[in-house]
Amino acid sequence: KSIAEESNAGGGAAAKPKESSSITEHLESVFGQAIASAFPEFRDTPVIIAPVNSTSAKFGDYQCNNAMGLSKKLKEKGINKAPRDIATELKGHCPASPIIEKLEIAGAGFVNVFLSKDYASSALSNLLRNGVTPPEVIKKRVLVDFSSPNIAKQMHVGHLRSTIIGESLCRLLEFLQHDVIRINHLGDWGTQFGMLIAHLEDRFPNYLNESPPISDLQLFYKESKKRFDEDEEFKKRAYSRVVSLQKGVPNSIKAWELICNVSRKEFQTIYERLDISVKERGESFYQSRMLSVVEYLRGKGLLEVDEGREIMWPDDTKTGIPLTIVKSDGGFTYDTSDMAAIRHRLEEELCDWIIYVVDSGQSTHFNTIFKAAERSAILNPLSHRVDHVQFGVVLGEDGKKFKTRSGDTVKLADLLDEGMKRSLQQLESRGRDKVLTPQELKDAQESLAYGCIKYSDLCHNRISDYIFSFDKMLEDRGNTAVYLLYTYTRICSIARNSGEDFTNLPEILKKTNIVLAHEKEWKLAKTLLKLHDILIKCSKELFLHFLCEFCFEVCTVFTEFYDSCYCIEKNKQGDIIAVNHSRILMCEATAAVLRQCFYILGLKPVSKM
Ligand code: ARG
């Protein structure tokens, strides 16, 4: 029975949960209706629903905390009503919902919600029948600007963070059915190309006919920089190459492309190893749009001349740091390209959401760009959302900036190689090389290596700095990729070892009900059903560590379940004497939920590890 029969005093239509709505959202709608019907003058009050974290089952699963606030508001109007009484009225006005088993008033005026087992059981059956479906959200056209390394410079650990976080955000938003545009805002433009081109002309005079074998572009960069600083004649030529590049003179464009290709190849191998997909649209793409955005801003009277430069203040107070839109030599800057880019994204790409995944060091830059875009009517905060998804720096185990032993910056390819080496050692230390076939071992090694590098980045609050430690990330206990991947593999093996075929789930579901009688079965069911809440929370706040914590919770709650609930019963001889179908279905549901989360987090589970 639901609460309808007892307490539907409000009389509103029963609240029907959409299969695709999250539990929190459904409860928000139930209590929203209750507030509107019991206290119509406060119908716009935001509903406060919180999951109950208490281990004690007597407080229920979720809680509505609106009574205290409503009591205050009533008092302002001269009406005295105790929060507990308000809570009772809210309870009485809640429309019937199949999700809710019962409501109880507790403490100062909380309404505790107890979820219905029938609902949970059918929700899990649906999940097994249809796969994990996304919660319903308002669809947006969202551009994610991530990775974005710079040509001729090392792609460093900061870019690695942006790459990992950006890829996972895209996967999350794509799963939620948003229209996602993945953009690599490559640093492929700017005055440094003048000296690189001039140096190329000298070192490889035949570059137009034969691809120059530049093996170390960083070194090439250093050489050209040295000449630029020491040789006046070279410097002049470098400047003239910047001009010819911006004008689009074919030879300079060709030289520039050759140089870019060297870096591009290096970046691509990293992307392939980490399974990253991103479309290149570097700063050079905006050359003509920089010219037009400057005209646009000038036309609006927003540019001010300051010591020969043209600057723009983020707002009318003219405080803070202005953007440099045109340099005194007439050239453009990083600010100019970001103004051109935001305009292109909003006005031409027609995005309504832009996400920049860039280190915290650039937060002033992005705040200024956002304000300036608003001031110049490029961005309308009522219809556009812009986020700087910032992250902290990567530290070594000594707590200092991440460097190699000799003090050099760490090459990403070397870092990934080291991860491969360490994960093989991890597998060997557990004797896995003796049981797995060479192919299985290699798959497990890759899954562990890249999985642990991604996961150790994603599982912390991205804003804080994080300590890069292979030892820590390869631990098989705690909230690590290793623990999650092992647990997943174990879960998958349960159905396989039952001696029965669990591949045709829709067929099996016709004959089997999911029973949630045991306390641990019920706990696991409720944990799994939090998935939609978590996904929505992650996409609202753009934090992925919530999803990692959820995976860890699923694995630990699963382990509790598995320890106290027999899925397969064996006799003393080790023969299977009973298979609990409902529980095996719970295992399969757990695996399905984890699989979806792993995909978003970039973890590739393997069937044997
Ligand atoms: N290339 C820049 C860097 O390495 C990051 C670019 C980020 N995106 C942007 N639209 N500014 O610092």
At 492, the amino acid letter reads C
- How confident is the model over 227-235, as a mean pLDDT? 96
Instruction: Look at phi and psi of residue 388 and say left if phi exceeds 0, alpha if psi is from -120 to 50, else beta.
Output: beta
- How confident is the model over 475-504, as a mean pLDDT? 94
**Given this model, what pLDDT does residue 404 score?**
85
State phi, psi for 182 to the nearest 5 degrees: -95, 120
Q: How far is CA 117 from CA 26, 123, 480, 524, 609, in A?
A: 16, 10, 31, 12, 35
Residue 6: pLDDT band with limits 50, 70, 90: very low
**Given this model, what pLDDT does residue 154 score?**
84
Q: 354 near 381, Cβ under 8 Å?
A: no
Tokens of 518: 């045991």
CA–centroid distance, residue 183 to ligand 1 (Å) = 11
Examine the pLDDT at 5 and tell me if it is beyond 80.
no
**Given this model, what pLDDT does residue 13 score?**
63
Q: Which residue has a Cα nearest atom 11 of ligand 1?
A: 338
**Given this model, what pLDDT does residue 2 score?**
38
Q: Which residue has the tokens 């998958």?
A: 492
**Given this model, what pLDDT does residue 322 score?**
97
Strand, helix or coil at 354? strand
**Given this model, what pLDDT does residue 14 score?**
72
**Given this model, what pLDDT does residue 407 score?**
83
Examine the pLDDT at 216 and tell me if it is beyond 90.
no
**Given this model, what pLDDT does residue 54 score?**
62
User: What 8-state DSSP symbol labels residue 578?
Assistant: E
310: nearest Cα among 372, 248, 381: 372
Q: Give per-residue pLDDT as tens, 92-136.
A: 999 999 999 999 999 999 999 999 999 999 999 999 999 999 999
Percent of the residues in the chain that have a pLDDT greater than 90, as a whole number: 88
- Cα angle for residues 492, 494, 495 (degrees, 5° grid): 85
Examine the pLDDT at 406 and tell me if it is beyond 80.
yes
Model-wide pTM > 0.90: yes
Ligand 1 is surrounded, with C-beta below 6 A, by 145, 148-150, 185, 187, 338, 341, 356, 358
CA–centroid distance, residue 539 to ligand 1 (Å) = 22
The full DSSP string for 85-130 is HHHHHHHHHPPP-TTEEEEEEETTTEEEEEE-HHHHHHHHHHHHHH
Question: What is the rounded average pLDDT for all residues in the chain?
Answer: 94
Q: How far is CA 86 from CA 3, 14, 66, 68, in A?
A: 18, 21, 9, 8
Q: Give per-residue pLDDT as tens, 25-38.
A: 999 999 999 999 99
Pocket test for ligand 1, best of 362, 368, 389, 409 (most atoms within 8 A of CB): 362
Q: How many angstroms separate the CA atoms of 147 and 278, rounded?
A: 8
Tokens of 440: 């299985």
Q: Which residues pair with 387 in a beta bridge?
A: 355
Q: Which residue has the tokens 């470098």?
A: 238
Point out the least confidently predicted range of 207-221, 342-356, 555-569: 207-221
CA–centroid distance, residue 157 to ligand 1 (Å) = 14
CA–centroid distance, residue 225 to ligand 1 (Å) = 22
Examine the pLDDT at 197 and tell me if it is beyond 60.
yes
